[in-house]
A and B are shown apart, each in its own frame.
Chain A
Amino acid sequence: MTTPVFRTEGLTKTYGDGPAAVQALRGVDLTVPEGEIVVLLGPSGSGKSTLLNILGGLDRASSGTAWFRDTELGTLSDRALTRYRRNHVGFVFQFYNLMPSLTARENVDLVTEIASDPMDAGEALERVGLGTRAGHFPAQLSGGEQQRVAIARAIAKRPTVLFCDEPTGALDSSTGRTVLEVLTAINASLGTTVLIVTHAAATAALAHRVIRFADGSIRQIEENAARLRPAEIEW
């Protein structure tokens, strides 16, 4: 078995305190092997985004430990977390989070200029099928195209792991399928571990591994023996 890229033990996260406290994670133990596509499924508020944020270095756990390879994330300073995000982590969000004042190519360059071993921005855009739209500003792109720019921006640094929080949440089904195809292609060609948070259960069919969440803990982990290609997924 390959070394896990992520490992957690007894991870909890509580927001607020006193009677208003909300327990988002209630002791999560998890191992994510390198190079897989992992889908985190579950209803809203089940804790899957919280887990993603902690693993992505955007948030800190209340207790328990989370390792990225040999590094315990909880021990990192803010500066070290920034370095971790800069060099290892790519993010894709539901609302794309592109800079409106930069073109598609410049949005990608935003990352290539600070990453240690980036690919060319043009190559990243080719991989998401937007090689010809590099000079367009976000306002000139459709939602699906904007999300693909966001993916290009996320992969341009050759991240170890790609976090996608509801990447198809704001898209129609055919556009969503295109985005998922890009994500599986990246995983296949670059070996990037991809973590996808979604509540669209159908997405699970393309994953190596599916983790089901409910009420802040893991209910079930299953490995997909027969993965479907995104084109085969029923929405």
Chain B
Amino acid sequence: MPVRALLNDPDELVAEALDGFARSHPGLVRANADPAYLIRAEPADKVALVSGGGSGHEPLHTGFVGTGMLDVAVPGAVFASPTAYQVRAAIRAADRGRGVLLVVKNYTGDLLNFGIAAELAAEEGIETRIALVDDDLATESEDGPGRRGTAAVLAVEKICGAAAERGADLEQLAELAARITTSARTLALATAACTHPGESRPSFELEVDEVEFGVGIHGEHGIGRRPYGSARELTAALADPVLESLGLTGGEEVLAIVNGLGATHGLELATVARELHEHLAARGIRIARSLVGSYVTALDMRGCSVTLLRLDPELAELWDAPVRTPALTW
């Protein structure tokens, strides 16, 4: 049975979804059609936060536009960076004269286009800083592009968004973003690949007794195949390298993000969350804050990522601060 998506025309999918999304949250956000971006309905007098990237990761980033998170989100085509022209328009729309923090996941195309947009904005007198997010342990290497940016971007947007609402300046926000990124690592696995809109076959096939380990969020292969196992075994396989990389030890507190990759049921994610609590508790590490759900997705990929962020009182307090966006509200 081929995969069938609900769409009109694959080439219009991103634009039509942006329109539908904005119409669904009229009090919070509005859409600009060309160049495409989503902006919060009521601008605030503060440093602006702009993020974006390829589409197909919803609710990232459009779902996080609103009070306490992003001012503008810029969607590219599916799994492709937004253009420099789009990002420049987003920066112009977001800036309130206090500068703009650009939250960028570590991919070549995103860095190039956000970097160019930042240079063009500087010529117009708009100050920007790029907060590079690179949390994906699967692609850690000495040379090459390094760790990809995945679910930790959500923590950067939430925590820096809260700090911006309280009046932090651009430099302070850039430092805060760097501290969060340094303190967070992610690892993911897939039990089934995703299918690009308009296509009928997934990007790869898995046997029933294996999982794709170390996947990113673009439907690509991971770093290897591992045997399929229980939620307990698979959760430990994701958590252990993250614990080791962060050097987390007994007595520390973390924010845990158990993130569905697009087609993973809430029951499964809650089970993984339970196993993560058990696994960390056995090592004396307390999950002081958590977020469980599908927030940083790869179309309809099945599987999940586990992100741990080492918490200190300041980060925890900013995480708790009020937020009101289409996808995250408390």
Partners in one complex: no
Residues of B whose CB lies within 8 Å of any CB of A are none
Residues of A whose CB lies within 8 Å of any CB of B are none
